[in-house]
Structure 1
Amino acid sequence: MDYTEDEEYTKTNLQDVVFLNLFVGFSDGESNFTIILHKDSNGIIKNVAFRFLIELHVDDIDVLNYIKSKLNLGNNISVYGSSCKFTVTHPKDISKLIFIFDKYNLNTTEYLDYLDFKKAFMLYQEERCTGFKEKKH
């Protein structure tokens, strides 16, 4: 699936409403949104990374592989001991997740975490674009 806010996306990819609702419901209980600040040796923030993560027992790795294949985004599934993790870190993929979570709302307190995550991501992306434009002049 290719997630963009165009008409083709709406017609083609949102036909799988059942999966997207299941994914969002599953994310309500099993996911988290993380903002990682990368600082230099002086404590000055040099970069910000955004991460969406679902972590399950390794016995459930097929669930994560299914989610990854249906969404067609995210990093490789990683295994650590008895846990497996599906992570999304690329800004383009984060944007696609935001489109999904805006269309199909989370229903628990995870929604509040999502709103903060989304706001920070949008501000960071806007600042990066503005910063690049200002440096050109």
Structure 2
Amino acid sequence: MFSCLMGGWKSSHGLSKLSQVSTEFLQWFTGFTDAEGNFLISFDRNFVRFRFKISLHIDDIDTLHTIQSMLGIGIVTEENKQYCSFVVQDYDQIKYILCPIFLHFPLQTNKRLDFDSFYEAILIKEEKGNNLTDIKDKLLVIKNSMNRNREIMDSTGHFESFAINFCWLVGRPVFVFSFFKWKNKNL
């Protein structure tokens, strides 16, 4: 087995739920999120909602169940006959489990910009509380600049800890498919 160990970060972040999760898995999960994950902010009446989601073809539902089981958070749903999703909507699970994972094992693509915006919105909510009136305008600007709406792709200053490793790379389905396609072609 390869080694991607990084000290006792789990205990320093109080992530007791993740104490049994290998660093390799968390690095793989970060790579997988870079490829398939999505960070969402929405508004419901007078509340802001945060959601993390990975959607895959129904044939890959076992992958989502593995993620759910390893992290101990979220739900897996069958959206229709073709697609399934791993969804985390619980604010505490997002704040205390997911965010520390991505802060310690940073995303390596432009998805990191979406996470940074997502995390900024969480910090604003933490500072201002649940009163949406006081923070809605700031959060709308952040929400409207994420994902497909992102116009600024500049990552200046965001990727100072750029560290692609084997665990992250294996989490990227495109890499795995391309590698095996190349390997079989060259046999």
TM-score range, shorter chain: 0.7 to 0.9
Measure, in 1, the Cα distance between the counterparts of 2:89 and 2:12: 17
Aligned match of 1:80:
79
Measure, in 2, the Cα distance between the counterparts of 1:20 and 1:120: 23
Aligned match of 1:127:
128
1:11-90 alignment runs, 5 A limit: 13=19, 16-39=22-45, 46-74=46-74, 76-81=75-80, 82-90=82-90
What displacement does 1:38 show? 2.0
Q: Deviations over 1:98-129 (max 9, x none)?
A: 00000000000000000000000111122117
SS of match in other structure, 1:102: helix
Q: Indicate the percent of aligned positions where both proteins have the same amino acid.
A: 34
Contact 1:32 1:52 in 2 (8 A): yes
Could you state the TM-score of these two structures normalised by the residue count of structure 2? Answer: 0.59
Q: Deviations over 1:69-101 (max 9, x none)?
A: 000011x21112210011001111101100000
Could you state the TM-score of these two structures normalised by the residue count of structure 1? Answer: 0.79
Moved over 6 A (4+): none
What displacement does 1:3 show? 8.1
Larger Rg: 2
Unaligned runs of at least 5 residues, structure 2? 1-9, 132-187
Unaligned runs of at least 5 residues, structure 1? 40-45, 132-137
Aligned match of 2:13:
5
1:111-122 alignment runs, 5 A limit: 111-122=112-123
Contact 2:21 2:71 in 1 (8 A): no
